[in-house]
Amino acid sequence: MTENHKFQLGTIGALSLSVVSSVSIVICNKALISTLGFTFATTLTSWHLLVTFCSLHVALSMNLFEHKPFDATAVMGFGILNGISIGLWNLSLGFNSVGFYQMTKLAIIPCTVLLETLFFRKKFSRNIQLSLAILLLGVGIATVTDLQLNLLGSVLSLLAVITTCVAQIMTNTIQKKFKVSSTQLLYQSCPYQSITLFIVGPFLDGLLTNLNVFAFKYTPQVLFFIVLSCLISVTVNFSTFLVIGKTSPVTYQVLGHLKTCLVLAFGYGLLHDQFSWRNIMGILIAVVGMVLYSYYCTVESQQQKASESSAQLPQVKESESDPLIIADKGSEILSESDPKTPAWNLKRDLDA
Along the chain (352 residues), what's the average pLDDT of each consecutive run of 10 residues? Answer: 62 76 82 87 92 92 86 90 90 78 82 87 86 86 70 88 92 88 89 92 90 92 93 86 75 73 63 66 83 82 76 54 39 38 38 38
Which residues, in sequence order, are CB contacts of 157 under 8 Å at separation 6+?
92, 96, 100, 101, 104
Q: How many whole angstroms separate alpha carbon 138 and alpha carbon 97? A: 20
Q: Is 179 helix (H, G, I), strand (E, B) or coil?
A: coil
- Report yes or no: 26 and 181 within 8 Å, Cβ to Cβ: no
Q: How many whole angstroms separate alpha carbon 158 and alpha carbon 282? A: 25
Q: How far is CA 271 from CA 230, 253, 277, in A?
A: 21, 25, 18
Neighbours of 119 (CB within 10 A): 11
DSSP 321: T
What pLDDT score does 122 carry?
83
What pLDDT score does 189 carry?
92
Q: How far is CA 89 from CA 161, 193, 264, 320, in A?
A: 8, 14, 20, 59
Rg (CA), the chain: 27
What pLDDT score does 325 carry?
37
DSSP 344: S
Q: How many whole angstroms separate alpha carbon 269 and alpha carbon 91? A: 30
DSSP 214: G
Q: How far is CA 132 from CA 142, 260, 261, 282, 299, in A?
A: 15, 15, 15, 14, 16
Helix then strand then coil, in percent of the chain rounded to 5, is 80, 0, 20
- Whose CA is closest to 154, among 197, 107, 118? 107
Q: How many whole angstroms separate alpha carbon 306 and alpha carbon 86? A: 40
Q: What is the pTM of this model?
A: 0.71
- Whose CA is closest to 156, among 233, 235, 97? 97
- Whose CA is closest to 333, among 345, 341, 321, 323? 341
- Report yes or no: 137 and 89 within 8 Å, Cβ to Cβ: no
- Report yes or no: 120 and 170 within 8 Å, Cβ to Cβ: no
Q: How many whole angstroms separate alpha carbon 166 and alpha carbon 89? A: 14
What pLDDT score does 51 carry?
94
What pLDDT score does 232 carry?
92
DSSP 84: H
What pLDDT score does 48 carry?
92
3-state secondary structure labels for all residues of 123-178: CCCHHHHHHHHHHHHHHHHHHCCCCCCCHHHHHHHHHHHHHHHHHHHHHHHHHHHC
